[in-house]
Structure 1
Amino acid sequence: MARVTPNAAPALSAAATQARATRTRALLEAPIAPTLAKLAAPNVLAMFVQTVQSISEAYFASLLGVTALAGLALVFPLVMLTQMLSAGAIGGAISAAVARALGAQDSARAATLAVVAWMIAGAFAVIMAILVGLFGVAFFTLLGGGADAVSAAATYALVFFPGCMAIWLCNASLSIIRGTGDMQTPAVLLLLVSVISIPLSGGFALGWGPLPALGMAGLPIGVVLAFAIGAVLAMAHILTGRTGLSFGGALGRIDISMFRDILSVGALAAVNTLLTTITIIMMTGLVGRFGEEALAGYGLGARLEFLMIPVIFGIGAAMTAMVGANMGAGQVDRALRVAWTGSCAAAVIVGGIGLLLAVFPDLWLGMFLDPSNTGALDAGRSYFRLVAPFYAFFALGLALYFASQGAGHMVWPVISSLSRMAVALIGALILMHTGGLGLRGIFIAIGGAMVVYGSVIGLAIWRKGWRARA
């Protein structure tokens, strides 16, 4: 990053402020579909590369053996919970708060919200590290993993979660930048993080070159180091004025309303994220009763389901900023049009991926499993054939969740997630035992729950809009 001299600083600040004002004006006035596509494109590219990073991690784990894959399946919901909270729930609330402040022409509040965002991110990171350190092993055991799989999961977690401060600060900073309408800078930084983490994770796990072969413990080291670099660069970008925000006197302007502005949306969004993760955890626990191979196969299927979240996030992050700015400016009808445009696009893209894998599941499973892993392959194929056709409903619901963050209306996303969790759990228990369908019954319930999830939030927003703050 170039050094800013004292004489150049005022000119840089003025130019950044003008650029930020231009971006905000585009959010409020430019044609919706082209603007949304322009904003989403760099996010989608960055999320695609981040997905490649997650695929690479699963591949490296597969080289360590089926037990490592099963351990990764046990810890993966907690890892994705960290990502979903920091980038999606709390991160989206940060973007929305900054965007609403800028939509209301209050740049001083937007800058102060950025400082509050870093404080909130740091607190969440500490809480998660403590909880996983205290209860991680008991949690993995509760999911039904064998002793070796639990040991592998604990080894991963005891590296990842003490280091999750880097992930929280990086994602909070990227969310601040997105709130100003700048989607390119976060995308570039996420690309950098993903590109760095892939060789580091593989190198530390498998012992490439001079790096030690640390096995399961090596996988998260690369992720944490890469996010630490991203956090430093993103925070420097913000604090040097390149977002058009001025931080003079920001500490003195902090008040409880700013924490409330982020957490009133972020708390409900976090509940929504927790419900999504709990649903996956409950299903993982039920699948774990069918053995390690079933757990490994389902883990690969659930990993792809989770990997659809970054794809949807690529569009959703753009919607959060665009909806937030329009709600801040009082343009509710335009905010709703933005929500439906982006959400339908996400449903088409993710739904298409789901249909492809429902027909050809080995396109994914074959990257990680040998033909000799028949039990894991059978479980994975069953998952994709019964669940993947309903990915479009999952994408629609999640995209409308991101739009609702921008609007500051989070009740219906939470209701839809509660409905999904209830249908998945109750349906799985009925079909698995009473229906005698075993593992297939669990997967049928998961697919049906996705339909309920997308339908509930979609019908609610279509019928009621965002007439009252929730």
Structure 2
Amino acid sequence: MNDKSLNLGKGPILPLLLKMSGPSIAAMLAMAVYNLIDAFWLARLNPDAIAALTICFPLQLIFGAVGVGTGLGSGSYASRMFGAGETAKARKTGGQAYFLAVVLGTLIIGVILADPESVLRIFGATTGIAPLARQYLVTVMPGVPFLFLIMITNNLLRAEGRPHLSMYPLLVVAIISGILDPLLIFGWGPFPRLGIRGAAVAAVISQIAGALLSFYYLQHGSSRYRLSWSDLRPDFRIILSIYQTGLPSIIINLVVSLCMLLHNHILAGYGNTAVATLGIVFRMNGLVMMTLYGIGHGLMPLVGFSEGAGLHSRLMTTVKVAVRISAGIALASLLLVEAFAPSIASFFSGDHELQALTTTALRINFLLLITAAPSLMWINMFIGLGRGTTAMVLLVGRDTLVLIPLLLLLPSVFGINGVWMAQPLASALAFLFILYWTKRQYRIFESRIVQPMTRTETC
């Protein structure tokens, strides 16, 4: 196992960004492919099963919001501490993040299991799919703390310059889940037929395995963290620093969950097939968005380190390289989906109504990638700088002031197609505001630059 840490402040930017992003992209794509496979098998079970999974998706976004927010805050703070030479504070950050994962994971399990039926009704479950949604939700809940541990460690490993290790726990989750899914859903071989509950059991088993591997990497002899029991004791100054960046990210993802909830309620009026279509579209979109998130995850520690070390010229060049790469991926993905949408829809189901809805929804929804790709890189720049509040204002403003009104207005004019149109339009409008704030931040960087970039800081 190669545990050599990368030097985040030296060397050509493009290769370094690819090294930092590559493992995260691989892991994210593996998870996205698993989610697609999950949807594929459940769609084969019956359309109501994929609709039930889609109803649970906003709740999974809430779980992800807590894990991602805590992880991003921890990784951003740790990378800045490493950049500033404060290794002890960076190591302590790992212990605090693990403490938070266990406490928050246990709290969420208690809240959800206290009354799962009421929770699912709030998130749009109809009478026909509520029992299936409850089976999945109740079964998947024990895996939440382990999911948090994976998300947090993923960010901590990137913060210390070991991105190649950050991908393996997620790969383990994807591989184990992908193998167990059809076995437990359909009862192949010696395995029991559990239906939608089988998908949840596969998820929990894989999350436990991924969390154990994550903890091993953080405790390995080559790690700069090497947690001790004293690091796990609450340090409220570090926790405050984590959530100064992480809390805005949590709020961002909670608003995303609110928008998904609204999608579910609106589409429920068009029938369970429309809800199932949303699940397929979001998973296909996730293939590309996970790739873009992977680039963003690689960008954040580079930004944080450069900010901590005062390398502002290098920082700007790094962000510009990330924007160019992400925009190219987005354009290629859009063209492929526009050309092959019918084939993609038929892959998931033989149901003609579901195929027709999915084809149209894919072609409309994927238009959002053109503006979402650069916007996401700039948002990750602000998070890497510890400016989580700025990222929150920009993204929450997009969803609350633009997306939600469009979701409420457009279906009355364009019918179900108005639901698919809302996100691309909201993304395009938000792009203008995010671009403005990015240029404003660049002017601040430029005012701090004393010396020009060296040749090694270019790509």
TM-score normalized with structure 1 length: 0.88
Q: Which amino acid aligns with 1:454?
A: F
Matches within 5 A, 1:99-114: 99-114=79-94
Deviates more, 1:438-447 or 1:299-308: 299-308
Deviation at 1:51? 1.5
Higher RCO structure, 1 or 2 (CA under 8 Å, sep 6+): 2
Which one of the candidate residues 204, 212, 216 is aligned to 2:192? 212
Aligned counterparts of 1:63 and 1:128: Cα–Cα separation in 2: 31
Name the counterpart of 1:272. Answer: 252
Contact 2:268–2:275 under 8 Å retained in 1: yes
Aligned counterparts of 1:126 and 1:395: Cα–Cα separation in 2: 35
Query: Does the C-alpha gap of structure 1 residues 244 and 147 become closer, same or farther in structure 2, counting only changes over 3 Å?
Result: same
Aligned counterparts of 1:298 and 1:320: Cα–Cα separation in 2: 30
| SS of residue paired to 2:348 | coil
| SS of residue paired to 1:147 | coil
2:379 is equivalent to residue 401 of structure 1: yes
| SS of residue paired to 2:31 | helix
Question: How many percent identity over aligned positions?
Answer: 21
Contact 1:194–1:226 under 8 Å retained in 2: yes
Deviation at 1:466? 8.5
Which one of the candidate residues 375, 387, 391 is aligned to 2:353? 375
Name the counterpart of 1:441. Answer: 418
CA offsets, 1:347-387, max 9 Å, x none? 321332133213321232222111xx232223222212222
CA offsets, 1:132-169, max 9 Å, x none? 32454334334444323122111111111232111111
Which one of the candidate residues 424, 427, 434 is aligned to 1:450? 427
| SS of residue paired to 1:241 | coil
Query: Does the C-alpha gap of structure 1 residues 411 and 212 become closer, same or farther in structure 2, counting only changes over 3 Å?
Result: same
Deviation at 1:303? 2.5
Query: Does the C-alpha gap of structure 1 residues 74 and 254 become closer, same or farther in structure 2, counting only changes over 3 Å?
Result: closer
Contact 1:407–1:466 under 8 Å retained in 2: no
Query: Does the C-alpha gap of structure 1 residues 381 and 247 become closer, same or farther in structure 2, counting only changes over 3 Å?
Result: closer
Query: Does the C-alpha gap of structure 1 residues 125 and 70 become closer, same or farther in structure 2, counting only changes over 3 Å?
Result: same
2:317 is equivalent to residue 337 of structure 1: yes
Query: Does the C-alpha gap of structure 1 residues 267 and 221 become closer, same or farther in structure 2, counting only changes over 3 Å?
Result: same
Matches within 5 A, 1:4-23: 19-20=4-5, 23=6
Contact 2:165–2:217 under 8 Å retained in 1: no
Query: Does the C-alpha gap of structure 1 residues 452 and 85 become closer, same or farther in structure 2, counting only changes over 3 Å?
Result: farther
Deviation at 1:335? 2.2
| SS of residue paired to 1:163 | helix
Contact 1:416–1:454 under 8 Å retained in 2: no
Which one of the candidate residues 34, 41, 53 is aligned to 1:53? 34
Query: Does the C-alpha gap of structure 1 residues 170 and 305 become closer, same or farther in structure 2, counting only changes over 3 Å?
Result: same
Name the counterpart of 2:172. Answer: 192
Aligned counterparts of 1:217 and 1:449: Cα–Cα separation in 2: 35
Name the counterpart of 2:50. Answer: 69
CA offsets, 1:234-270, max 9 Å, x none? 2122223321334468439863221112111000111
Query: Does the C-alpha gap of structure 1 residues 262 and 28 become closer, same or farther in structure 2, counting only changes over 3 Å?
Result: same
Contact 1:387–1:447 under 8 Å retained in 2: yes
Aligned counterparts of 1:466 and 1:425: Cα–Cα separation in 2: 32
Aligned counterparts of 2:284 and 2:398: Cα–Cα separation in 1: 18
Deviates more, 1:77-86 or 1:374-383: 77-86
Deviates more, 1:280-289 or 1:397-406: 397-406
Name the counterpart of 1:116. Answer: 96
Contact 1:90–1:267 under 8 Å retained in 2: yes
Contact 2:58–2:123 under 8 Å retained in 1: no
Contact 2:94–2:225 under 8 Å retained in 1: no
Q: Which amino acid aligns with 1:408?
A: G
Matches within 5 A, 1:299-318: 299-318=279-298
Deviation at 1:443? 1.8
2:392 is equivalent to residue 414 of structure 1: yes
Q: Which amino acid aligns with 2:427?
A: M
Name the counterpart of 2:451. Answer: none
Matches within 5 A, 1:76-155: 76-86=57-67, 88-134=68-114, 136-155=116-135
Aligned counterparts of 2:47 and 2:57: Cα–Cα separation in 1: 15
2:20 is equivalent to residue 39 of structure 1: yes
Aligned counterparts of 1:311 and 1:464: Cα–Cα separation in 2: 25
| SS of residue paired to 1:360 | helix
TM-score normalized with structure 2 length: 0.90
Aligned counterparts of 1:439 and 1:166: Cα–Cα separation in 2: 38
2:406 is equivalent to residue 427 of structure 1: yes
Deviation at 1:79? 1.9
Aligned counterparts of 2:382 and 2:443: Cα–Cα separation in 1: 8
Name the counterpart of 2:438. Answer: 461
Name the counterpart of 1:28. Answer: 9
Name the counterpart of 1:233. Answer: 213
| Structure 2 portions without partners, runs of 5+ | 446-459
| SS of residue paired to 2:270 | coil
Contact 2:349–2:355 under 8 Å retained in 1: yes
How much is the aligned-residue C-alpha RMSD, in angstroms? Answer: 2.3
Aligned counterparts of 1:358 and 1:285: Cα–Cα separation in 2: 27
Q: May I ask how many residue pairs the two structures share in their alignment?
A: 444
Q: Which amino acid aligns with 2:46?
A: G
| Structure 1 portions without partners, runs of 5+ | 2-14
| SS of residue paired to 2:193 | coil
| SS of residue paired to 1:424 | helix
2:174 is equivalent to residue 224 of structure 1: no
Contact 1:170–1:228 under 8 Å retained in 2: no
Aligned counterparts of 1:320 and 1:411: Cα–Cα separation in 2: 15
Contact 1:70–1:299 under 8 Å retained in 2: yes
Q: Which amino acid aligns with 1:227?
A: Q
Query: Does the C-alpha gap of structure 1 residues 34 and 133 become closer, same or farther in structure 2, counting only changes over 3 Å?
Result: same
Name the counterpart of 1:392. Answer: 370
Aligned counterparts of 1:139 and 1:247: Cα–Cα separation in 2: 37
Deviation at 1:210? 1.5
Aligned counterparts of 1:134 and 1:338: Cα–Cα separation in 2: 47
Contact 1:145–1:292 under 8 Å retained in 2: no
Deviates more, 1:423-432 or 1:171-180: 423-432
Query: Does the C-alpha gap of structure 1 residues 305 and 202 become closer, same or farther in structure 2, counting only changes over 3 Å?
Result: same
Contact 2:345–2:356 under 8 Å retained in 1: no
Aligned counterparts of 2:198 and 2:444: Cα–Cα separation in 1: 50
Aligned counterparts of 1:143 and 1:110: Cα–Cα separation in 2: 38
Deviation at 1:291? 0.8
Aligned counterparts of 1:253 and 1:166: Cα–Cα separation in 2: 19
Contact 1:348–1:392 under 8 Å retained in 2: no
